[in-house]
Structure 1
Amino acid sequence: MVLQVEIDKHVALVRLNRTEARNSLNPELIVRLAECWQSLRDDVDVRAIVLTGAEGSTFCAGFDLGRFIPLLTGARQAEDEWDHRIVADGGLAGRATLRDFDLERPLIVAANGHAIAGGMELLLAGDLRLVAAGARLGLSEVRLGLIPAMGGTARLARLMPPALAAELLLTGSPIAAERALEAGFVNRCEAPERVLDTALELAREIAANAPLAVQAARDVMRRSADLSVVEALALEAEHSQKLAATEDAVEGPRAFLEKRPPVFQGR
């Protein structure tokens, strides 16, 4: 399978599995990713998601230059089921890369290797970003006559210093994971063999919290960037009022006073 999904105790692990092609996104993987995200969002038992790549030096090399890009430009005609689905639904790539789809729960991207082009855009889509030491991160599209069109151009300067974002976008040259850490773009820079374990630890920590509160905090944080302070505070107050009426808001303080771990139900 080009995509592997495991769910354990409220945490979903999604693994890109095209090691022979540096986990690049071909039509089948694009379709399966889009379907996977929809399925996970619909699963109320899933509270946190980790995305990683199969073992190797590359997390994701972006869109498959031999299969997807020629289909996109019209240089290649649809040949199989996956090709035809891409042609029939122009929104699949945007949903697969989370440009046009909100998971409504935290996504931790564990880049176990290089993240280039569409792979970097998947990294940009994460709420938390963990990267392997020595990995290279870049948006190379201008070298191919394109721009990052799955959120890369729009999101990059929001998540790292504008000068560094401009360097990445305009030169097409990648930067080292260590430089991305210094710039505050990634949360951790770990040894390659530790990236996934650390990501899963963070996911379990998040999943142990009240899920409705986590979703609300994430929603306010993400949407506030496009709001005035007054509007953001109003959104915060709206979520706070709704949460105060939940069972989990009763359970949390009660468990604290009773000196026991809370048992949150998501209601």
Structure 2
Amino acid sequence: MADILFSIEDHVAEITINRPDKSNALNAAVREGLFDAFKRANEDPECRVVILTAAGSRVFCAGADLVEMAALGITTPPPDYMPVLGKNVAMDKPVIAAVNGAAMAGGFLLVQMCDLVIAAQNASFAITEARRGRGSPWAIPLTKQLPRRVMTELLVTAEPMSAVRAHDLGFVNALAEPDALMERARAMAKVIARNAPLTVRANLRMIRFADDMGVQAAERVADEIFQEVYLSEDAREGPLAFKEKREPVWKGR
């Protein structure tokens, strides 16, 4: 069986880590498969939204495959060791993490890098590197996603945070019963896919620039980002469809 499953339907790509017997740990095959799957989704003109999930009902991803890591003698991971959206993987479409269980270490990273998160009620989140003598420099974006003391707690205790608490803190967008997780994630993806793709992508770019710079500088960049949107065929199609009382037909141009 493939370690990564990929499918696309109705403008929604689904990427599934498929090593449930190994806690969906990130061995070389999984990491390479994720690189390929994200690239495929980003380059497919039919894809407007991506859902990242994992097989099984207990663990979303336990992080790095420590058995493989020990065998290879990996010390400092190279820059291309893990696929990280916006860092070493280009992705201009929204990515929804559908978290079906425990997301630990590198599994936490996979959730952290996504734009939206739907979690099963029994899911949990942990940065466990302190238990293994490893490092988590990738956790820096959490300074924009969680309160400082919560981030500190996760890093220094290595204890898990429940999905309910993560939702209360705004790290998770919505909770779902385990057997309804994918239904909930697909419903959100369907809503996004119905919207104008150029506007959705521009909104993502604006948010990412705002994360990396001050408000005033980000506002100037946002004006530039949306020029393409305002001048597009889709920008004329939206009001016209409203006037004609029909669903818009987006062309992405």
Cα RMSD over matched residues?
1.6
Which of 120, 125, 128 is the matching residue for 2:108? 120
Distance in 1 (CA, whole Å) between partners of 2:5 and 2:185 is 17
Partner of 2:129: 141
Cα pair 2:53 2:99 within 8 Å, conserved: yes
Question: How far apart, CA to CA, are the structure 1 residues paired with 2:18 and 2:87?
Answer: 21
Alignment of 1:186-197 (within 5 A): 186-197=172-183
Check conservation: 2:48, 2:94, Cα contact below 8 A. yes
Letter in 2 for 1:60: C
Aligned to 1:95: 83
- How far did 1:92 drift? 3.3
Runs (5+) with no aligned partner, structure 1: 75-86
Partner of 1:77: none
Separation in 2 of the partners of 1:29 and 1:91?
A: 16
SS in 1 for 2:82: helix
What TM-score, normalized to structure 2? 0.94
Identity %: 34
What's the counterpart of residue 194 of structure 2?
208
Counterpart position of 1:37: 38
Residue matched to 2:120: 132
- Over 3 Å off, 4+ runs: 96-99
TM-score (norm: length of structure 1): 0.89
Q: In the TM superposition, what whole-angstrom CA distance separates every residue of 1:3-37 from its partner, at most 9, and x where no partner exists?
A: 10010011001111001101111111111111111
CA contact (8 A) 2:84 2:113 kept: no
User: What is the match of residue 5 of structure 1?
Assistant: 6
Q: CA deviation at 1:238?
A: 1.0
In the other structure, the counterpart of 1:109 is 97
Query: CA offset at residue 72 of structure 1?
Result: 5.2
* Residue 202 of structure 1: how far off its partner (Å): 0.6
Structure-2 residue corresponding to 1:16 = 17
Give runs of aligned pairs for residues 41-52 of structure 1, distance below 5 A: 41-52=42-53
Distance 2:38 2:22 in 1: 22
1:246 equivalent in alignment to 2:232: yes
